Amino acid sequence: MRIGLTGGIGSGKSTVASILVSAGATLIDTDAIARAIAQPHGAAMPAIEAEFGPAVIAADGGLDRARMRDLVFADTGARKRLEAILHPLISAECEGQASAAAGQLIVFDVPLLVESKRWRALVDRVLVVDATEETQVQRVVARSGWTPEAVRAVIAQQADPAQRRAAADAVIFNEKMSLAELSADVRNLWERWTGAGTR
């Protein structure tokens, strides 16, 4: 079974991913793949340089992320051209990792799952981790030292919680529960979906 795991920043998505891994799932981290293919010698670099020119290439040969951010921020066409390069490579890498884990429960960690239609077709179930905005802000401030305003700005760019919940087969409301309770909820869900006990 393939599960797509998503949730807003600070919802506890990474925590749920690690609970699933400790129960025996294989995690495929799409953000890590996206970063890796745009590092020096990454699979996306030749196409990025051909499309956008040397101005977006850092001295080490990887993507100059600040330059690219400015470019796609100012120009949605540029964002589409970048995505047209990245998405097929990310999909291919995900497929490679998934086939290496055939027969296991595979969890795709996809921050923008709800925002991206193509993802919904690739997974059997969508698991959404949710929390109130106040809790999201508190957790991210505590975790990373960002200002509350910076966290709120990221939340504002992400899918809204109602849209995320509407796309979900299951929602874990990770609010006012201990990590032990969260772990129990995740393991219960695993049993429900796979009909099997966890390790």
* Distance between CA atoms of residues 22 and 183, nearest Å: 10
Is residue 179 involved in binding ligand ADP (CB under 6 A)? yes
Contact mark string toward ligand ADP, 33..72, x via CB under 6 A: ----------------------------------------
Among 9, 28, 106, 110, binds ligand ADP (CB under 6 A): 9
Residue 27 pairs in a beta bridge with: 107
Q: 146 or 193: whose CB is closer to ligand ADP?
A: 146
CA 193, 194, 195 angle in degrees (round to 5)? 100
User: Which residues have a Cβ under 8 Å from the Cβ of 44 and sit 6 or more positions away?
Assistant: 37, 38, 63, 85, 86, 89
Q: Please tell me what DSSP assigns to residue 175.
A: S
Is residue 150 involved in binding ligand ADP (CB under 6 A)? no
* SS3 at position 154: helix
Q: Using CB positions, name the residue nearest to ligand ADP.
A: 14
Among 177, 185, 187, 193, binds ligand ADP (CB under 6 A): 177
Is residue 183 involved in binding ligand ADP (CB under 6 A)? no
Classify residue 197 by burial, with Cβ atoms within 10 Å: 0-12, 13-18, 19+: exposed
Q: 16 or 85: whose CB is closer to ligand ADP?
A: 16
Shortest gap between Cβ of 131 and ligand ADP (angstroms)?
8
- Residue 20 in tokens: 């699933």
Is residue 21 involved in binding ligand ADP (CB under 6 A)? no
Residues 155-174 that bind ligand ADP (CB under 6 A): 174
* Distance between CA atoms of residues 71 and 65, nearest Å: 10
Interface ranges with ligand ADP (CB under 6 A): 7, 9-15, 139, 143, 174, 177-179, 182
